[in-house]
Structure 1
């Protein structure tokens, strides 16, 4: 009897081991799809500082969230982000804008010392998510600041993108939304490419003013004249 039990025990151990392997399969890792942006050709194109870019707090994690029909969010069980979602957003927008503006001078904030931008883009992303039965949704707002520090454009954007339902399709749809955002941004930025240079008013030097004062003719000061004459009144 003991001899017969040994193969049975070995068989049960193997089945349990296979079940454990199936249960603990690693989740798939996903990155945003940046499309196929080309390489910008102009090394002296439009100078743009992109950022600061603020991303909603609930997106500051590796968990891939799923939007439910009632508006709630739950963690996906079959996948997660491969690293920082915020960094993916930054890199996708930089590459897309550089390609659409055909400029090598599109950089993330903070810019290096000596970089003088034509425009700075202040961007806030308040929503970027989707669900198995919910479309991908992007809510964002941007402000464009020209080289004089004036606000040239302020826009609130709401975009939606349908998908087939799988996690991979949802991630692809979210990437398409960011590509659409970069397209709208590029359209708003292009009219600001040919701004007149900022000319600071010239201030007269102190030495020149002193020299002008010295060259003016000096008028002697009047002094009172005293006499011993008395005046009599009748």
Structure 2
């Protein structure tokens, strides 16, 4: 009896071990496709502060979400984000903008001390997702603030891109949409590169005209001199 039980126990152990391996198989990790941005050459190019960049709450997680046909979202079973999606978005946009503006002076908010930007970009991303049967969609809004604190541009953007349906294709499509966003943003920023200086040069002060003495010369008062007769001397 004991002899027959041992093979059965070994068989069950092997089956459970195989099941455990299939259940605990690690999911694939994904990052957004940032394209192939070149290195900006101008060290004294346009100065830009990118941010704050706000991302919708449902995107602030490592879970890679899938948009369903009914509009609902579910977690992908075969992959997740490799770290913070919000930080990944920041770095993608930063590199793309620096390359498209050809400027080394593009920084993320908060700007370092002493950095005086030509423009600050306030960006809000309210949607970035896709599904197996749903296209990748990006909804965003930006405001451009010039060095005088004036709003120079305010725009809402809606972008879509189809894909092949796999998780890898979906991630690539989402990265492509962010690259398109950075391209449109760079076009809006370039006209603000040649702004007048914040402090206008002072006009030369006009010399005051010499004051003219408008007072009439004073005539001395006559003073009587006592002699034998009254004589007035001037």
Do the structures match in fold with TM over 0.5?
Answer: yes
**1:84-113: CA deviations, max 9, x gaps?**
111000000000000000100000011011
Q: What's 2:187 paired with? A: 187
Query: Are residues 1:92 and 2:110 paired?
Result: no
Q: What's 1:225 paired with? A: none
- Where in structure 2 are the equivalents of 1:20-99 lying within 5 Å? 20-99=20-99
Q: Give the 3-state SS of the residue equivalent to 1:5 in structure 2.
A: helix
2: CA distance, partners of 1:112 / 1:16: 56
1: CA distance, partners of 2:212 / 2:128: 71
2: CA distance, partners of 1:141 / 1:98: 20
Q: What's 1:120 paired with? A: 120
**1:153-172: CA deviations, max 9, x gaps?**
11100000111111111111
2: CA distance, partners of 1:200 / 1:102: 27
The answer to which of 45-54 and 9-18 deviates more is 9-18
Q: Where does structure 2 lack aligned partners over 5 or more consecutive residues?
A: 203-207, 216-234
- Where in structure 2 are the equivalents of 1:1-234 lying within 5 Å? 1-200=1-200
2: CA distance, partners of 1:91 / 1:130: 21
- CA shift for structure 1 position 29: 1.2
The answer to which of 6-15 and 29-38 deviates more is 6-15
From the two aligned structures, give the one with the greater helix fraction. Answer: 1
**1:154-200: CA deviations, max 9, x gaps?**
11000001111111111111000000000000011111111111225
Larger gyration radius, structure 1 or structure 2: 2
**1:68-89: CA deviations, max 9, x gaps?**
1111111111111111111000
2: CA distance, partners of 1:159 / 1:125: 12
Q: Give the 3-state SS of the residue equivalent to 2:179 in structure 1.
A: helix
Q: Give the 3-state SS of the residue equivalent to 1:35 in structure 2.
A: coil
Moved over 2 A (4+): none
So what's the TM-score if we normalise by structure 1?
0.84
Q: Where does structure 1 lack aligned partners over 5 or more consecutive residues?
A: 203-211, 220-234
- CA shift for structure 1 position 8: 2.7
Change (3 A) 1:5 1:187: same
- CA shift for structure 1 position 201: 7.4
1: CA distance, partners of 2:20 / 2:185: 49
Q: CA RMSD in A?
A: 1.9
2: CA distance, partners of 1:187 / 1:47: 15
2: CA distance, partners of 1:85 / 1:200: 43
